[in-house]
Amino acid sequence: MLRLITIWPFPEEVVRECCENVRAVIVPEMNLGQARMLVVNALAGSGVTVEGVNHINSTFIEPDEIVAKTEEVLQ
12-74, CATH topology level: UDP-galactose 4-epimerase; domain 1 (3.90.25)
pTM comes to 0.89
pLDDT for 43? 97
Picking from 24, 25, 33, 23, the residue whose alpha carbon sits closest to that of residue 61 is 33
Cα-atom radius of gyration of the chain, to the nearest Å? 12
User: What is the pLDDT tens value at each position of the chain, 75 positions in all?
Assistant: 888 888 889 999 999 999 999 999 999 999 999 999 999 999 999 999 999 999 999 899 999 999 999 999 999
Angle 53-26-6 (CA atoms, 0-180°, nearest 5)?
Answer: 85
pLDDT for 4? 84
